[in-house]
């Protein structure tokens, strides 16, 4: 066998081995399982309510603990806000098993735990909790009736504005017209003529303010002047005028008002549904009391900081805007009529 023939045979064997090696590598890669992508984070949004057949009695439950368990067993938790709302982001570090779902568990003192499975994460999750408080037996005997119209009276501090007088003042802005500006500020709005900025300061007294301020040019070449600003400085008002012609005269008129803090007494009405009532009061409320008709007689019941009411159990929660939300349930032996 010649040397050229041996070389050709060796190259052919090497080529066959290379093809077999590449084919084996492709087969191995094809047989290996491909890594699955990690699911994107899921945002669960929902609300927690008391369970009742009457929609008007499905009250939001604040400060309820919401725990979401991912298909991998990871737990994510949050609490509901004053309106019962919760938002919870569920993230997974690996692909979830087939047909696996995220589960929710909601707990709150005074309620039975609520468990559910999240089948559609993009929908609003509504969880209703059943009260664990024992049902009070219906009393035997006479029932005290409470009138349907329940009025809430309260006081709050408000600012009262009173007109205590008026002010009239004139001032001049002295200037020489037709003088080129040549870049020496201040100048006319078009930068052509030399200008002067002048004005007046209206001095106010303590707890007073100027309202309905009116500034007008009454003498001189008024079209060649311009009101620049009306700047409040404490209880005073500073007025600036730009004049780029001869001297002008301005008139200032204003109303002088006094601001005082006074106590105002206001009334609100409770919304009665079944054996419960709801009402809201502003954050600045003071001395709230409830006026109700009890067995035909109008009686005023001070609410107090402890929310003590002889014929009802009341609770209060704070809304994000600091508004106070009250809910009261009638005690056994009372009914709205």
What percent of the chain stands above pLDDT 90? Answer: 21
All domains in the chain, ordered by first residue:
42-129 (2.60.40.10), 144-157+263-336 (no CATH), 158-261 (2.60.40)
- Whether pLDDT at 4 is above 80: no
Distance CA 55, CA 40 (A): 35
Is residue 334 predicted with pLDDT exceeding 70? yes
List pLDDT tens digits, range 80-132.
Answer: 987 889 999 888 766 766 667 888 999 998 899 999 888 888 889 999 999 88
Query: DSSP for 58-120?
Result: --B-TT-EEEEE-TTS-EEEEE--TTSEEEEEE--SSPPPTT--EEEEEE-TTB--EEEEES-
Please determine, for residue 187, whether its predicted confidence score (pLDDT) is greater than 60. yes
Give per-residue pLDDT as tens, 144-153: 788 888 888 8
pTM, 2 dp: 0.47
């Amino acid at each position: 066998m010649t040397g050229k023939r041996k070389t050709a045979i060796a190259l052919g064997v090497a080529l066959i081995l290379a093809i077999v090696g590449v084919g084996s590598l492709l087969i191995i890669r094809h047989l290996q399982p491909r890594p699955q992508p990690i699911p994107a984070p899921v945002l669960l949004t929902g609300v927690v309510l008391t369970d009742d057949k009457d929609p008007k009695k499905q009250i939001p439950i604040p400060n309820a603990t919401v725990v979401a368990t991912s298909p991998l067993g990871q737990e994510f938790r949050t609490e509901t806000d004053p309106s019962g709302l919760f938002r919870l982001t569920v993230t997974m570090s690996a692909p979830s098993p087939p047909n696996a779902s995220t589960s929710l568990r909601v707990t709150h003192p005074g309620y039975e735990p609520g468990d559910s499975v999240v089948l559609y994460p993009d929908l609003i999750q509504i969880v209703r909790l059943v009260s664990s408080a024992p049902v009070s037996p219906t009393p035997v005997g006479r029932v005290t009736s409470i009138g349907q119209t329940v009025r809430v009276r309260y006081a709050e501090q408000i600012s009262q504005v009173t007109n205590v007088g008026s002010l009239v003042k004139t001032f001049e802005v002295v200037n020489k017209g037709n003088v080129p500006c040549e870049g020496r500020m201040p100048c006319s709005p078009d930068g052509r003529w030399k200008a002067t900025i002048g004005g007046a300061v209206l001095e106010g007294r303590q707890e007073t303010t100027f309202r309905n301020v009116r500034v007008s040019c009454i003498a001189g070449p008024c079209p060649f002047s311009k009101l620049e600003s009306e700047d409040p400085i404490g209880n005073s008002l500073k007025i600036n005028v730009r004049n780029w012609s001869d001297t002008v005269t301005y008139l200032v008129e204003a109303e002088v008002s006094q601001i005082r803090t006074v106590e105002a007494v206001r009334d609100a009405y409770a919304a009665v549904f079944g054996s419960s009532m709801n009402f809201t009061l502003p954050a600045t409320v003071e001395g709230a009391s409830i006026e109700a008709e009890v067995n035909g007689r109008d009686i005023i019941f001070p609410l107090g900081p402890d929310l003590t009411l002889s014929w009802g159990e009341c609770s209060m929660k704070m809304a994000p805007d600091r508004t106070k939300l009250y809910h009261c349930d009638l005690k056994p032996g009372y009914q709205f009529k």
